[in-house]
Amino acid sequence: MITSIENRIDEWIARVKDYGAVKAFEFIPGYPAHKTPSPVTKYTVAVTEREEKTGTFFIGDQIAEGRTGRLHEIELCLRVYAPEGSSGAALLRASALLMDALEKQDDENAINALILSGIGYDTAARVEYRDVTARLSMIEEAVA
């Protein structure tokens, strides 16, 4: 069953895909890994979502209506694959464009941190990549 949190993240990623220069990037699911194109011909972003923890909260007192819900702390990893023959500087620019799109399209102010990894090499796809990790906090209110 898809939760409202998953729907909200999917909608956010859809807005990111349609933002500025990121429109030229190809977005794919992070798993299964064999779906990564080889050779990579354009910037490709593999999206993986991992929920770290969920906690229940309560808001309200004697004068306010009591409301409960769940706080979701999520780690969203976007692995940016560079086209073959790209430089490390070009991969850094592509990652920076993606980070900018994530921030600009964060309507809920869910981002706590954006983390950029060093350059890695995917031996299966034979291509360089960088990970952009977004640590998010999202509230899902309980339905009364």
In whole angstroms, what is the distance from residue 26 CA to residue 7 CA? 20
The count of domains in the chain is: 1
Residue 129 β-bridge partners: 81, 120
**Which structural domain, as residue segments, surrounds residue 103?**
4-141
Residue keyed to tokens 């309200």: 60
Beta pairing class for 44-59 and 26-29: parallel
Alpha-carbon separation of residue 47 from 56, 68, 75, 124 (angstroms): 27, 30, 11, 17
What torsion, rounded to 10 degrees, do the Cα atoms 111, 117, 121, 124 define? -30
Domain CATH for 115? 3.30.2000.30
Residue keyed to tokens 């070009």: 90
Q: In this predicted model, what pLDDT tens digit does every residue of 4-37 receive, in sequence order?
A: 888 899 999 999 999 999 999 999 988 776 677 7
Q: Residue 1: what pLDDT?
A: 38
User: Counting beta carbons within 10 angstroms of the beta carbon of residue 2, is it exposed (0 to 12), middle (13 to 18) or buried (19 or more)?
Assistant: exposed
Full-model pTM: 0.84
Q: In this predicted model, what pLDDT tens digit does every residue of 43-102 receive, in sequence order?
A: 999 999 887 778 776 655 555 455 677 888 999 999 999 988 888 889 999 999 999 999
